[in-house]
Structure 1
Amino acid sequence: MTKALAIGALAMGALVAGLTAVATPAAADTDVKFALDWKFEGPAAPYFVALDKGYYKAEGLNVTIDTGPGSVAGIARVAAGTYPLGFFDLNSLVKFRDQNPDKAVKAVMMVYDRPPFAIATTTKTGITKPKDLEGKVLGAPAADGAFAQWKAFVKENSLDDSKVKIENIGFPVREPMLADGKVDAITGFSFSMYFNLLQRNLKPDDIKIMLMADHGLVLYGNAIMVNPEFAKANPKVVAGFLRATIKGIQDTVKDPDAAIKSVMKRNETADEKAELERLKMSLRDNFVTPWVKENGLGDVDMARLAKSIEQIGITYEFKAKPSPADVFTSEFLPPAADRKL
Structure 2
Amino acid sequence: MRLARTTAAAALATTLLLSAAACSDSSDDGTDGSGSGSLERVEYLTSFGNFGRDAYAWVAREKGYFREAGLEVEIKPGNATAENLKMIAAGQAAFSPLDLTGLLLAAGQGQAKDVVAVAAIQQKTMAAIMSLEGNGIAVPKDLEGKTLADSPSSVVRNLFPTYAKLAAIDASKVKWVNGTPQTLIGTLAGGGVQGIGQFVVGKPTVEAAAKGRKAVVLPYSDVMRDLYGNVLVTSKKIATEQPDLAKRFTAALLKGLEYSIANPAEAGEILHRNVPAAAAAPAAAELELMAAYVTSEIGVGGIDLGRVAGSIALLETAGSIPPGVTPEQIVDASLTPKR
What's 1:236 paired with? Answer: 244
Deviation per residue, 1:87-118 (Å, 9 max, x gap): 22222222333444783310000102122211
- The aligned counterpart of 1:128 is 138
The within-5 A match list for 1:106-125 is: 106-125=116-135
1:49 aligns with 2:59: yes
- 1:171-190 equivalence runs, <5 A: 171=180, 174-190=184-200
- Given the superposition, is the C-alpha separation of residues 269 and 124 from structure 1 closer, same or farther in structure 2, using an over 3 Å criterion? closer
Output the CA distance in 1 between the equivalents of 2:105 and 2:170.
25
Q: Counterpart of 2:159?
A: 149
| Cα drift, residue 323 of structure 1 | 0.3
Amino acid across the alignment from 2:331: F
Counterpart of 2:170 (choices 152, 160, 165) is 160
SS at match of 2:267: helix
Secondary structure of 1:147's match?
Answer: helix
The change in CA–CA distance for 1:264 and 1:177 in structure 2 (over 3 A counts) is: closer
Cα deviation, residue 270, structure 1:
2.5
Which moved further from structure 2: 260-269 or 193-202? Answer: 193-202
Contact kept in structure 2, 1:122 and 1:185, CA below 8 Å: yes
Letter of the 1:232 counterpart: T
Change beyond 3 A, Cα 1:278–1:241:
same
Give secondary structure in 2 for the equivalent of 1:295. coil
Partner Cα distance (1:36, 1:141) in 2: 15
TM-score, normalised to structure 2's length?
A: 0.80
Q: Is the 8 A contact 1:42 1:260 kept in 2?
A: yes
What per-residue deviation string (whole Å, max 9, x for no partner) do you get for residues 254-285 of structure 1?
Answer: 2112222321221123221122112222223x
Question: Offset at 1:50?
Answer: 1.8
Please state how far the C-alpha of 1:135 moved relative to its aligned partner: 4.3
- Change beyond 3 A, Cα 1:85–1:183: closer
CA separation of 1:193 and 1:260: change in aligned 2, threshold 3 A: closer
Change (3 A) 1:126 1:67: closer
Cα offset for 1:307? 1.9
In the alignment, what sits opposite 1:14? none
1:321 is matched with which residue?
A: 324
Contact 1:149/1:315 (CA < 8 Å) preserved in 2?
no
Q: Kindly tell me: are residues 269 and 160 of structure 1, through their superposed partners in 2, closer, same or farther at Cα, counting changes over 3 Å?
A: closer
Residue in 1 that maps onto 2:96: 86
Q: 1:194: how far off?
A: 5.0
SS in structure 2 opposite 1:316?
coil
1:212 aligned residue (213, 220, 223): 220
Contact 2:55 2:271 in 1 (8 A): yes
Counterparts of 1:76 and 1:57 in 2: how far apart (Å)? 27
Distance 2:184 2:40 in 1: 40
**Any gaps of 5 or more consecutive residues in structure 2?**
1-16, 25-34
Structure 1 residues 178 and 40, CA gap change in structure 2 (3 angstroms): closer
Contact 2:148 2:174 in 1 (8 A): yes
1:299 to 299, 302, 306: 302
2:277 match: secondary structure: coil
Aligned-pair RMSD on alpha carbons? 2.6
Match of 2:290 in 1: 282
Question: In the alignment, what sits opposite 2:254?
Answer: 246
What SS does structure 1 have at the residue aligned with 2:154?
A: coil
Percent identity between matched residues is: 23
Q: How far apart are the structure 2 equivalents of 1:161 and 1:47?
A: 36
Range moving further from structure 2, 71-80 or 213-222: 213-222
SS of the residue 2:168 aligns to: coil
Do the aligned partners of residues 154 and 235 (structure 1) sit closer, same or farther apart at CA in structure 2, a change above 3 Å counting? same
CA distance in 2, matches of 1:96, 1:271: 33
Q: What SS does the aligned partner of 1:86 have?
A: strand
